[in-house]
Amino acid sequence: MTAKHVTVPCRLCTNTLLPSTARKTGNLCLSCFHRERGRLEDEARESRPGCAGCDGSTESSAFWFDWQLAKQGKYRFRKYPKYLRPVRRVKGGDRYVCTECGAPWYLPGAPQPQHMMLIPPACVAQFEAWCEREITCTTSVLEAARAIGATPPSYDDHADDVRIPCKVTTRKGEQIELAVLRFSRLPPIPWMDERPQHLPHFRLADEIASVEPSRFALSRQVRSAFIADRRGAIDRDWLSVDVVSRTGRRYRLNGSPLFFDRDGVPGEALRPAFRSGGLAVPAKPHGPETVFAADWFGGAKLLNFSRDPVTGFLSWLRWRLGGNLSGNKP
């Protein structure tokens, strides 16, 4: 037997591994090594007091966990309910505070799932402004947003949440090309624990003077293709769509991005490709976007182009004629 055929058994399962791997992992196969490391990290976290904001669990300070599962004690975040105390009712949910570090947390009320969210220090002032007032858009902003068309969220458990990629001019006259107008019940704070350079920058939608199409935004056609991909692949949570530019450059877009800005190709130049293949680009093929948060309201669902266009248009018309735009109530 030559040396290259020598293998070592994993000390936890029946897999075998190369001696070079065994030396690095302490005789564990890679899957056992990662599982074991996760278990040790969970144990270390459980032994430290405090919330995810003060026990070293998050680097970018975006963090959430399932509150129900944590309270039932069946979950890796089960120590957190002990350190989080409700303070008061705020817009659409409850504000909590960490008894160790004083960090603010937000627990959405029904119909949102009970995902307890950490309010990162940089977002506290904005979160408080969001809690205190109703955040609505003017009729002309809503009409422009509907013409562009909203994309529903990537995951179905946030049904009351639509996003419109656009160019925004603020009341102060700033022009933002990578802007997202978001109607949601959730507060303006980052949701995913993404790398800090990818975290969206949040503002409030009542700062908007006007909305127009952005040349970096993916067309309605490309964004619909992501939705079609999701319907076709229920058990795959990674969406991808093949696109081609006007000059014939091909890309495979992953995730469900709203914008594209690479190789001098703006999002508006891309259309769905009939045959697959092309350069795979990361889920965020553009710089960080600015998300303008607006309150969820009855008409927001009608901005969403994924609904049947005829029914969608008729309900939009009925809603417009009903004069609900001025009230804009959730």
Q: Give me the residues that bind Zn ion (CB under 5 A), please.
A: 10, 12-13, 15, 29, 32, 50-51, 53-54, 98, 100-101, 103
| Burial classification of residue 322, based on how many CB atoms lie within 10 Å of its CB (0-12 exposed, 13-18 middle, 19 or more buried) | exposed
Instruction: State which residue, 50 or 152, has the beta carbon closest to Zn ion.
Output: 50
Give, in degrees to the nearest 5, the angle at Cα 197 between 191 and 203: 55
Instruction: State which residue, 53 or 266, has the beta carbon closest to Zn ion.
Output: 53
Pairwise CA distance, residues 274 & 215, whole Å = 23
Q: Output the smallest distance, CB 216 to Zn ion, in A.
A: 38
The residue behind tokens 């009320």 is: 109
Q: Output the smallest distance, CB 32 to Zn ion, in A.
A: 3
Instruction: State which residue, 18 or 101, has the beta carbon closest to Zn ion.
Output: 101
Give, in degrees to the nearest 5, the angle at Cα 303 between 216 and 106: 90
Instruction: State which residue, 85 or 133, has the beta carbon closest to Zn ion.
Output: 85
| Burial classification of residue 311, based on how many CB atoms lie within 10 Å of its CB (0-12 exposed, 13-18 middle, 19 or more buried) | exposed
Instruction: State which residue, 12 or 69, has the beta carbon closest to Zn ion.
Output: 12
Q: Output the smallest distance, CB 160 to Zn ion, in A.
A: 29
Instruction: State which residue, 103 or 181, has the beta carbon closest to Zn ion.
Output: 103
Does the bond joining 111 to the residue before it have cis omega, within 30 degrees of 0? Answer: yes
Check residue 268 and report its DSSP letter: G
The partner residues of 175 in beta bridges, in order of sequence, read 169
Q: Which of 208, 65, 38 is nearest to 138 (CA)?
A: 208
Q: Output the smallest distance, CB 194 to Zn ion, in A.
A: 21
Q: Output the smallest distance, CB 46 to Zn ion, in A.
A: 14
Query: What are the residue ranges of helices labelled H in 165-307?
Result: 220-232
H or E segment and range at residue 184: strand 175-184
Q: Output the smallest distance, CB 268 to Zn ion, in A.
A: 44
